[in-house]
Amino acid sequence: MMRAAILPFAAIALVACDGDPAGDPRGAAPDLPAPQRGLLPSMTIPRPAEWGDALPTVPQGYRIQPIATGLRIPRQTLVLPNGDILVAEGSGGGAPALRPKDVIAGYIKSLGKSSVPGGNRLTLLRDADGDGTYEMRTVFADNLNAPYGLALANGALYVANQDALVRFDYAEGQTEASGPPTLVTNLPSVINHHWTKAMTASADGRFLYVGIGSNSNITERGMAAEEDRAMIWEIDAETGRHRQYATGLRNPTALAIQPGTGQLWAVVNERDEIGPNLVPDYLTSVQEGAFYGWPYSYWGQNVDTRVRPIDQAKVAAAIEPDYALGAHVAALGLAFSTPAMGERFAEGVFVGQHGSWNRDEPVGYRVVFVPFRDGRPAGEMVDVVTGFLTAENNARGRPVGVSVDPRGALIVADDLSNTIWRVTPGQ
């Protein structure tokens, strides 16, 4: 187990993110550069490095510690009512390469991944005495198929595998599933270029929202391969009936319901190969029936000329997202904060950024906080957990899912060092 410590000081305070490349578009009104095309996009990915005695950096007055190590590709987490943490472990996909550049990109991406096979399971962590040490670790359920999205509603635990939404009966305090899961509904899984199935439950538990990514970067497999892709489904939790809730979202990788409003929010990974500063991944409220542009346009009505024929009606209907997180940061985690996280982080969202592979200067590789005011993003995002990149631009970790324990803790899944980190206000 890596050592845990209260950091005596921090490299950052509550200020804008440091060290970002010039021209990287961020915020509610980003300044988008002109597209850039080339034979190959810039492709640089940090190689894995060990943590050793090091720890990620957190703001002054906060503590970070590893509460579980040696996992098998932890992706998303869920804090249960009794404080237990469920971890979805797995890795899916496997879409065939179409072009020589896909082979090259696939190889480069593989250099930045853990060599550990995905667990295809849920692991439960328990801190029985509340001292911050999770002394119990057990497999809650296994033999799953690249589980990713997790939700608790209606006395049941819902798991979004890469091919199906399933349900386990759940009683508080349970440490392992009482039986095999029940199928709620199948999910699109042919090709699965983007395999992750993000999920959250409505405030009343009646509906489940599942994000389904596109089957390509920008329709290079043809539009037939994109049926029921690049969208969010609304699924009746009891019957499994579903409908398209919002479309044109290239890869919605994390979903969350805003407390007090019931509003659905998402982080979305946007398209590649038109420059290092295009297109920004984004955070947005998700409007029922709305179209967000993919594949025909980006950030509202900026036309992507690579898509033929252009659907002018779709472009005209595309709405702008709420907040740009930066291009190619690979946002994979989203969680609303609570006042228990301290005054600086009382209102807003935490976003896990897995990090880029397709630019010369790496971006992402951190957890950021987007402050809210009156229920909307307000101001510059700030660094919360950094230090995943070394001075040589190697990666000791890559953040994925984030969860907030209402008692006052930020839970971060790291699928490179296969660690779950816990960030708490400290003295």
Instruction: Give the model confidence (pLDDT) of 172-226 as tens digits.
Output: 999 999 999 999 999 999 999 999 999 999 999 999 999 999 999 999 999 999 9
- Give the pLDDT of residue 14: 42
- Give the pLDDT of residue 101: 66
pLDDT single digits (tens) 291-316: 999 999 999 999 999 999 999 999 99
The single-letter code of the amino acid at 109 is K
Tokens for 60? Answer: 């002054």
- Give the pLDDT of residue 402: 98
| Mean pLDDT, range 75-100, rounded to an integer | 92
**Burial class of 350 by CB neighbour count within 10 A (0 to 12, 13 to 18, 19+):** buried
3-class state of residue 316 by DSSP: helix
Cα distance between residue 123 and residue 87, in whole Å: 5
The single-letter code of the amino acid at 230 is A
Task: Assign 49 a pLDDT band (cuts: 50, 70, 90).
Answer: very high
Strand 264-268 relative to strand 280-285: parallel, antiparallel, unpaired? antiparallel
| Mean pLDDT, range 84-89, rounded to an integer | 98
- Give the pLDDT of residue 6: 34
Q: Considering the domain delimited by 5-425, tell me its CATH architecture.
A: 6 Propeller (2.120)
Residue 4 has pLDDT above 80, yes or no: no
Q: Are 144 and 161 in contact (CB under 8 A)?
A: yes
Cα distance between residue 308 and residue 299, in whole Å: 18
Task: Assign 40 a pLDDT band (cuts: 50, 70, 90).
Answer: low
Residue 7 has pLDDT above 50, yes or no: no
- Give the pLDDT of residue 1: 33
What's the half-sphere exposure (Cβ side, CA atoms, 13 Å) at 311? 13
DSSP state of 218: S
- Give the pLDDT of residue 23: 78
DSSP state of 389: B
Tokens for 242? Answer: 């579903």
Residue 376, phi then psi, degrees to nearest 5: -130, 155
Task: Assign 18 a pLDDT band (cuts: 50, 70, 90).
Answer: low
Residue 23: CB partners within 8 Å, gap ≥ 6?
33, 277
Cα distance between residue 57 and residue 365, in whole Å: 12
Task: Assign 248 a pLDDT band (cuts: 50, 70, 90).
Answer: very high
Q: Are 44 and 363 in contact (CB under 8 A)?
A: no
Task: Assign 20 a pLDDT band (cuts: 50, 70, 90).
Answer: low
Cα distance between residue 308 and residue 149, in whole Å: 33
Q: What sign for the dihedral angle of Cα 112, 118, 119, 122?
A: positive
Residue 309: CB partners within 8 Å, gap ≥ 6?
none
Q: What sign for the dihedral angle of Cα 296, 163, 397, 370?
A: positive
Cα distance between residue 197 and residue 233, in whole Å: 10
Assessment of whether the complete model's pTM goes beyond 0.85: yes
Q: Are 353 and 268 in contact (CB under 8 A)?
A: no
The single-letter code of the amino acid at 123 is T
Residue 276: CB partners within 8 Å, gap ≥ 6?
21, 36, 41, 42, 327, 328, 358, 359, 360, 361
| Mean pLDDT, range 78-105, rounded to an integer | 88
Residue 17 has pLDDT above 50, yes or no: yes
Mean model confidence pLDDT for the chain: 93
> Quick one: which of 97, 84, 52, 43 has its CA closest to 359?
43
Q: What angle do CA 77, 161, 287 make, to 5 degrees?
A: 75
pLDDT single digits (tens) 328-387: 999 999 999 999 999 999 999 999 999 998 788 899 999 999 999 999 999 999 999 999
Residue 402, phi then psi, degrees to nearest 5: -130, 145
| Mean pLDDT, range 402-420, rounded to an integer | 98
| Mean pLDDT, range 151-161, rounded to an integer | 97
Cα distance between residue 146 and residue 120, in whole Å: 5
The label of the residue with tokens 């967000």 reads 292
Task: Assign 8 a pLDDT band (cuts: 50, 70, 90).
Answer: very low
- Give the pLDDT of residue 278: 96
